[in-house]
């Protein structure tokens, strides 16, 4: 496989500049890099103020979509899984019987969330570029919380479907938006660990949700309440999300220029510290040339393939893991409690993988370890008999290490994709692949294959095996591009464009941008 010599596009002097250029007005020719002590001080302040908000919102994103997605019959011995996730507070509160869901309405209600997500993913990513990043993200967070609270009023499938669709619409902004925040505030060798931390709060939420669901199941068992507990649950979690969204609106900065927690002189330093990324902090103008480059870049479609193939297993396992555990000899109530260690495995894997990849500058190799562990778990699920309850439970836990590779590629959108329009386009395509995979995944678990679901488990093994190969191809391609860029920089006639990092150049246009591997 060869990388074409003309893949690095020539610099276009008419390119509109990045907003960070205002930091260097009156300082032509560049600015001296800040010292390590200042850099460490700023990093500590940024971590302390940004990460708690990002982690809290991402955890709520997981919990809220789960709270409205996994409907089960009130009786704990009649577990019916119907959508994309593992955690459902409504699963033990009689929601299915209260709103009269029947037949394949279960499956459709689960899929509608991703249809909403899919419908707005690109427009939403485009709006993230055009409007102030934090304010637009906050608006969507507030609307998603209000929509979730509306679930407390649903009376039938139609109402539930409408709420599910709009939950997908408003939550579609979160993951690509957080990738942009990470790109804006952290250097390329800090982004892997920070993405792993905020994404890892999926696992933290899985722990909290699993224990909470088990407590609700046991606490309400045999009890009769005047108001359905699941309605109170949706109202409380929805209103809490609205409150956090308002905090996000007040406190989260759009960029380094309107940040509350930095002194004016530190705002400029916060821009200077990310100069090595060769990406700036954003440009609000849509550029057709960058859009076309995103569509023609093979890496875009390598990312999209991974997002789709990698999330077919995710959509299947997260949808049916309770049944997998239950069919292995555990009760339905125990299946809720036993989800918690899986969340711990996921959170630890993501955080450790991010830290090691940044430390050793080997993001793909390190993240592939987690994917390989997940693949081992999938092989064991396919091979172990139902009578081996403990072995199958451990195998499920191993599958929860697999998201490390998905998160590594998500962080690559922050570090390796440059140009504001190109970055938002690639992020949208990546998340569209994510949606398609999660829609297809549950369909592989066919009722006629219960209780082993062997065809689904074989599909999972094949998908993750293909993803491992895809990751290695991506690394090879980026390594070849780095070599090509180095040849350009070593050419005696090469002249670096002053402040090229803040010219809103794409990664192919800027020879100074070195891809993270």
Digit-coded pLDDT (tens) for 6-27: 445 444 444 466 666 665 554 4
Asked if pLDDT for residue 480 goes beyond 90, the answer is: yes
Q: What is the per-residue pLDDT for 82?
A: 31
Mean local confidence (pLDDT), 297-322: 85
Write out pLDDT tens, residues 94-135. 455 556 566 666 567 667 888 999 999 999 988 998 899 999
Please give the structure tokens belonging to residue 145: 């919380």
Asked if pLDDT for residue 300 goes beyond 90, the answer is: yes
**How would residue 188 be classed by pLDDT, with cut points 50, 70 and 90?**
very high
Write out pLDDT tens, residues 229-242. 667 777 888 898 89
Mean local confidence (pLDDT), 474-486: 97
**How would residue 84 be classed by pLDDT, with cut points 50, 70 and 90?**
very low
Diameter of the chain by CA atoms? Answer: 81
d(CA 495, CA 473): 31
Inter-residue contact 361 to 516 (CB < 8 Å): yes
Asked if pLDDT for residue 74 goes beyond 50, the answer is: no
Please give the structure tokens belonging to residue 365: 């190799």
Mean local confidence (pLDDT), 389-398: 88
Q: What is the per-residue pLDDT for 316?
A: 67
Helix (H, G, I), strand (E, B) or coil at 40: helix
CATH class entry, domain 34-502: mainly alpha
d(CA 160, CA 418): 40
Q: What is the per-residue pLDDT for 218?
A: 65
Residue predicted with more confidence, 298 or 323 = 298
DSSP string spanning 319-373? HHHHHHHHHTT--HHHHHHTHHHHHHHHHHHHHHHHHHHHHHT-HHHHHHHHHHH
Minimum mean pLDDT among 69-78, 181-190, 204-213, 218-227: which range?
A: 69-78
Q: Is the dihedral of CA 305, 310, 313, 315 positive or negative?
A: negative
Helix (H, G, I), strand (E, B) or coil at 94: coil
Domain extents for the chain? 34-502
Mean local confidence (pLDDT), 450-475: 92
Please give the structure tokens belonging to residue 490: 């070593």
Write out pLDDT tens, residues 22-72. 655 544 444 556 889 999 999 999 999 999 999 999 988 876 555 544 444
**How would residue 222 be classed by pLDDT, with cut points 50, 70 and 90?**
low
Q: What is the per-residue pLDDT for 392?
A: 86
Q: What is the per-residue pLDDT for 237?
A: 80
d(CA 459, CA 224): 43
Radius of gyration for the chain, computed over Cα atoms and rounded to the nearest angstrom: 23
d(CA 213, CA 332): 11
Inter-residue contact 67 to 240 (CB < 8 Å): no
Q: What is the per-residue pLDDT for 12?
A: 47
The candidate with the shortest Cα–Cα distance to 435, out of 143, 66, 127, 112, is 112
Report helix angle 339-360 to 389-399, nearest 10: 40
3-state helix, strand, coil in the chain (%, to 5): 70, 0, 30
Inter-residue contact 316 to 411 (CB < 8 Å): no
Asked if pLDDT for residue 80 goes beyond 70, the answer is: no
Write out pLDDT tens, residues 269-295. 998 898 888 887 778 889 999 999 999
Please give the structure tokens belonging to residue 316: 């299947």
d(CA 444, CA 378): 14
Q: What is the per-residue pLDDT for 18?
A: 67
d(CA 217, CA 116): 30
Q: What is the per-residue pLDDT for 160?
A: 83
Structure pTM? Answer: 0.86
């Amino acid at each position: 496989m060869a990388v074409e010599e003309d893949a690095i596009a020539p610099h276009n002097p008419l390119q509109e500049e990045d907003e960070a250029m205002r930091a260097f007005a009156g300082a032509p020719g560049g600015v001296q890099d800040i010292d390590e002590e200042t850099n460490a001080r700023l990093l500590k302040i940024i971590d302390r103020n940004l990460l708690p908000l990002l982690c809290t919102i991402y955890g709520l994103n997981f919990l809220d979509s789960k709270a409205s997605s996994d409907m089960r019959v009130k009786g704990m011995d009649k577990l019916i899984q119907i959508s994309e996730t593992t955690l459902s507070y409504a699963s033990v509160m009689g929601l299915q019987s209260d709103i009269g869901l029947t037949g394949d309405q279960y499956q459709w209600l689960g899929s509608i969330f991703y249809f909403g997500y899919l419908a707005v993913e690109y427009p939403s990513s485009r709006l993230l570029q055009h409007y102030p990043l934090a304010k637009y993200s906050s608006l969507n967070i507030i609307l998603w919380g209000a929509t979730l609270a509306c679930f407390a009023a649903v009376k039938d499938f139609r109402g539930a479907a409408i709420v599910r669709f709009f939950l997908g619409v408003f939550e579609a902004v979160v993951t690509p938006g957080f990738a942009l925040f990470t790109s804006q505030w952290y250097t390329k060798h800090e982004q892997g660990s920070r993405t792993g931390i905020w994404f890892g709060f999926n696992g933290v939420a899985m722990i909290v949700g699993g224990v909470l669901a088990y407590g609700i199941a046991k606490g309400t068992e045999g009890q009769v309440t005047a108001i359905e507990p699941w309605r109170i649950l949706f109202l409380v979690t929805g209103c809490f999300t609205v409150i956090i969204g308002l905090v996000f609106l007040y406190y989260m900065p759009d960029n380094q220029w309107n940040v509350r927690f930095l002194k004016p002189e530190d705002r400029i330093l916060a821009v200077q510290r990310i100069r090595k990324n060769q990406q700036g902090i954003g440009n609000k103008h849509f550029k057709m040339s960058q859009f076309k480059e995103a569509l023609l870049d093979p890496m875009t479609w390598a990312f999209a393939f991974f997002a789709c193939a990698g999330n077919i297993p995710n959509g299947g396992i997260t949808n049916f893991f309770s049944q997998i555990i239950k069919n292995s000899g555990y009760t339905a109530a125990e299946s809720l409690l036993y989800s918690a260690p899986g969340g711990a495995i996921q959170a630890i894997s993501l955080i450790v993988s991010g830290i090691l990849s940044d430390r050793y500058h080997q993001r793909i190799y390190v993240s592939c370890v987690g994917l390989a562990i997940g693949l081992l778990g999938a092989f064991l699920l396919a091979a172990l008999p139902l009578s081996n309850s403990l072995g199958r439970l451990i195998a499920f836990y191993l599958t929860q290490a697999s998201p490390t590779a998905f998160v590594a590629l998500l962080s690559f959108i922050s570090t390796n994709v440059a140009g504001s329009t190109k970055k938002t386009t690639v992020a949208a395509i990546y998340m569209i692949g994510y949606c398609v995979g999660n829609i297809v995944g549950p369909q592989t678990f066919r009722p006629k294959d219960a209780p082993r679901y062997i065809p689904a488990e074989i599909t999972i093994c094949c998908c993750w095996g293909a993803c491992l190969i895809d990751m290695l191809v991506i690394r090879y391609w980026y390594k070849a591009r780095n070599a090509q860029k180095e040849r350009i920089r070593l050419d005696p006639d090469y002249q670096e464009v002053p402040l090229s990092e803040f010219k809103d150049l794409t990664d192919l246009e800027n020879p100074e941008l070195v891809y993270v591997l």
